[in-house]
């Protein structure tokens, strides 16, 4: 087995269901310490975070990732136990194989080879590892970034190991992400008997036209890097369960994935103005999960493009599609941020898996990126 595969297996064997780290960071730090990385453990609440750095001067290149994984789902549906990694037909199976313990292994072995070849490399290499990416993301990367910012310790280039690829490793790189603004809309009515609607006020009936308008609103046109902003209603709840009772309230959960053509304040104001126009008795509990960010053409993008072409001959596609990642916490500091990882077809699924050969390919790409920037 390759060193990358061996390390990926060792990481998958640790049942680090969010927010548990289950010793993954210890395993990584044992190897990083041998390379001269200084260790800093940052625990916030029940979340373990690791900041490890080699080199005192800039520029700083940072590998960012997470050791936590999503729950397994029904164990009986797995073809092999999710934390007992197994290789079948060239695929490594196990929870976290793709998201993102395979990437963590590739980052570490790439660093080992690069440092062996360039012990006096330029700048610094860092690892920012959390166990709170798949959970609330409150005590993880965002808190580490706050700590670094408070002491003016800057990251210049950050490569996040999220599974970005579609058909082949490196065919897609995420150079940005949409913002995520969520809301829970509470609409008040007056409970009553369905036979006497004139004595009640049905919040479901009242909010329905407003929801139709929200769903059909065009928020912006997007731009060359981002698709247009979208709003999706994900949950509606009302009633007591009885068929003859007009409900006293209705609760609607919705989310906007928004481009850099919109911003949080304007979106909130537009939605509230729309609801006001329908005369609703309401309140909204807002949650901003992440701001949109974009890394344009520059040193990091060029280094990744050259590395991917050199290793696999691919001309990579730059994309801002998909959900959010911890890159949203790092980009606002001024860092250039990219996401490059394995193919994402099985992430969060039963029988999650990654191609064994892809792990070494990814490690080679990471190593070449380091060479392009710090050799």
Burial class for 228, CB neighbours closer than 10 Å (0-12, 13-18, 19+)? middle
Q: Catalytic annotation on 68?
A: yes
Q: Catalytic annotation on 317?
A: no
Which one from 20, 21, 68, 326 is the annotated catalytic residue?
68
Residue 352's alpha-carbon distances to 71, 78, 100, 102, in angstroms, are 12, 9, 11, 11
Burial class for 277, CB neighbours closer than 10 Å (0-12, 13-18, 19+)? exposed
Which one from 112, 133, 134, 367 is the annotated catalytic residue?
133
Phi, psi (rounded to 5 degrees) for 125: -115, 135
Rg (CA), the chain: 23
Cβ pair 373, 159 in contact under 8 A = no
Cβ pair 36, 130 in contact under 8 A = no
C-alpha count within 13 angstroms, C-beta hemisphere, residue 291: 11
Q: Cis check for the bond before 100: say yes or no (omega within 30 of 0).
A: yes
Q: Which residues are catalytic?
A: 68, 133
């Amino acid at each position: 087995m390759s060193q990358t595969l061996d390390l990926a297996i060792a990481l998958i064997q640790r049942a680090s269901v969010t927010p548990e780290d289950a010793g993954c960071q210890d395993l990584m730090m044992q190897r990083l310490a041998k390379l001269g990385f200084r260790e800093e453990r940052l625990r916030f609440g029940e979340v373990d975070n690791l900041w490890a750095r080699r080199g005192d001067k800039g520029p700083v290149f940072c590998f960012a990732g997470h050791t936590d994984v999503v729950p397994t789902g029904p164990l009986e549906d797995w073809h092999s136990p999710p934390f007992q990694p197994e290789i079948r037909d060239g695929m490594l199976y196990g929870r976290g194989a793709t998201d993102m313990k395979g990437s963590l292994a590739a980052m570490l072995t790439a660093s080992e080879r690069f440092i062996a070849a360039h012990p006096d490399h330029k700048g610094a290499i860092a690892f920012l590892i959390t166990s709170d990416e798949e959970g609330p993301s409150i005590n993880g990367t965002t808190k580490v970034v706050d700590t670094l910012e408070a002491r003016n310790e800057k990251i210049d280039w950050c490569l996040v190991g999220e599974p970005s690829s579609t058909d082949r490793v490196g065919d897609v790189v995420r150079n940005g992400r949409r913002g995520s603004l969520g809301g829970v809309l509470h609409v008040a009515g007056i409970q009553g008997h369905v036979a006497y609607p004139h004595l009640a006020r049905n919040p479901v009936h009242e909010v329905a036209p407003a929801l139709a308008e929200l769903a059909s609103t065009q928020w912006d046109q997007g731009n060359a890097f981002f698709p247009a902003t979208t709003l999706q209603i994900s949950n509606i709840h009302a009633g007591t369960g009885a068929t003859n009772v007009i409900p006293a309230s209705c609760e609607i959960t919705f989310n906007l994935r928004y481009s850099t053509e919109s911003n949080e304040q304007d979106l909130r104001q537009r939605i509230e103005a729309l609801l006001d126009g329908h005369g609703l008795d309401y309140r909204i509990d807002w949650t901003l999960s992440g701001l949109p960010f974009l890394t344009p053409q520059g040193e990091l993008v060029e280094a990744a493009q050259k590395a991917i072409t050199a290793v696999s001959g691919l001309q990579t596609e730059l994309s801002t599609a998909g959900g959010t990642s911890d890159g949203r916490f790092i980009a606002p500091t001024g860092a250039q941020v990219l996401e490059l990882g394995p193919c994402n077809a099985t992430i969060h699924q039963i029988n999650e898996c990654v191609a064994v050969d892809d792990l070494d390919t990814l490690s080679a790409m990471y190593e070449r990126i380091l060479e392009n920037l710090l050799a």
